[in-house]
Amino acid sequence: MKISFLLHNAYGIGGTITTTFNLAQALAERHTVEIVSVLRHRERPNFTLDPRVSLRPLVDLRQEKEHPAHLRPAKVFPAAEYRYHQYSELTDERIGACLADLDADVVIGTRPGLNVHLALQAPQRVARVGQEHLTLDNHPPRLRTALRRAYRRLDVLTTVTEADAAAYRRKMRLPGVRVEALPNSVPDPVLPPADGDAKLVIAAGRLVPVKRYDLLIEAFARVAAEHPDWQLRVYGKGEEHDRLRALIERLGLSDNVFLMGPAAPMEAEWVKGSIGAAASNFEPFGMTLVEAMRCGLPVVSTDCPHGPGEIIKDGIDGRLVPVGDAAAFGEALLELVRDDERRRRMGRAALENARRFAPGPVVRQAERLLEEACEARRTGRPVTRDRDPVGRVLTGRGHAARDAVYATGSSALRTIRKARR
């Protein structure tokens, strides 16, 4: 297969970029793979990309930031999407032209607004796969309405958790669209796993309010008070840096808590630690949890929606604590700090249990979905049997017919009924 990914900005930093690169590189072992980056703002990506994966940008902000068309608002990219302010008439034009000329078998969108583009503009012969890296409930109602209309033209929609896949099936009602959870994958480690001896807790991610590094630091204060020889290292950058630095100083933790800045790849840092930590209020998946576990670290995490509860087995390979509870978080850390054997045992379990997020099983699932989507486009039949808006089974009527059927609500039902007579 020839596979194209449509990505917001391959030259930035973030979980969607990481997992897209990971999946693209794994697929490149057996397929022709390219990443189309809508935006570009620097010479090279922050993350190293396998040379087998081609990368091409559509709009180079270094030269085109003041392009007249880029100063006019987008019309295809949905206005309710979080990144709308970064899109424009120019991005609409470039994305549309890119999709029109696409010679791939399948195109994969990596955020809601881009999924709308490929649903509406990808050629009939190209299989359309939308990825959801956040969650349905995280989207405002106006965006959900736009997605409900456009997503009916997709072949497959993947989410990163089973919980979110269930939410899409229950709330969005997308006849003929296969909705399936496809977790993010983490490359096989190249370094020996952590041995659990280091007196070090590791956390990583963007320094933004939802990640609650302030709560993590407050929780770690309990650890430092009882075990002053332990340290917390936080990797990442973001708007919360100065506030977190002030909190560290106010709590007298300057010798115990360190803001390390970004590190890529993180593997060399994870293996230096003994415990991973994540205190988020919300995690669509929890990429850093898997990264830590694949390096042999048990992880203490808040049991927030949606990912941690599907990744961590509480008491086996990590601990899950209530969201926003610094005392409970600190006590969970102390349980592992105090008990060397338990910490090592849970680290071994984390290493074993996280194998399900290795590229092998995830890529096999992705290949199956992509092959079925391509076959569906070739034969004109939906990827799966599903139900239409009035609850009856839709069989293989063909993608062109289905796209026309769902152009509008009431006329769609009339068309379906007429076709069945």
Beta bridge partners of 4: 34, 107
Taking only the tens place, the pLDDT of each residue in 184-202 is 988 889 999 999 999 999 9
All structural domains of the chain with their residue ranges: 2-185+361-420, 200-356
The tokens of 383 are what?
Answer: 């990827």
CB of 285 closer than 8 Å to CB of 184: yes
* Chain-centre distance for alpha carbon 17: 8
Residue type, position 317, single letter = D
Q: What CATH fold (topology level) applies to the domain 200-356? A: Rossmann fold (3.40.50)
- CATH for the 2-185+361-420 domain, from 3.10.20.440, 3.40.50.2300, 3.10.28.10, 3.40.50.2000: 3.40.50.2000
CB of 321 closer than 8 Å to CB of 329: yes
3-state secondary structure of 3: strand
pLDDT at 46: 87
Measure the CA–CA gap between 59 and 255, rounded to whole angstroms: 45
pLDDT at 417: 33
Measure the CA–CA gap between 195 and 231, rounded to whole angstroms: 16
Which residues, 6+ apart, have CB-to-CB distance to 18 below 8 Å?
47, 287
pLDDT tens for the chain, 421 residues long, are: 999 999 999 999 888 998 999 999 999 999 999 999 999 999 999 888 999 999 999 999 999 999 999 999 999 999 999 999 999 999 999 999 999 999 999 999 999 999 999 999 999 999 999 999 999 999 999 999 999 999 999 999 999 999 999 999 999 999 889 999 999 988 889 999 999 999 999 999 999 999 999 999 999 999 999 999 999 999 999 999 999 999 999 999 999 999 999 998 899 999 999 999 999 999 999 999 999 999 999 999 999 988 999 999 999 999 999 999 999 999 999 999 999 999 999 999 999 999 999 989 999 999 999 999 999 888 877 765 443 332 323 333 333 433 333 333 333 333 333 333 3
Phi and psi of 158, rounded to 5°?
Answer: -110, 145
The tokens of 417 are what?
Answer: 């009924």
Closest CA to 20 of 216, 142, 184: 184
Give percent above pLDDT 70 in the chain. Answer: 90
Measure the CA–CA gap between 161 and 184, rounded to whole angstroms: 9
Taking only the tens place, the pLDDT of each residue in 313-344 is 999 999 999 999 999 999 999 999 999 999 99
How many CB atoms within 10 Å of residue 71?
A: 11
3-state secondary structure of 21: helix
The tokens of 212 are what?
Answer: 């609650």
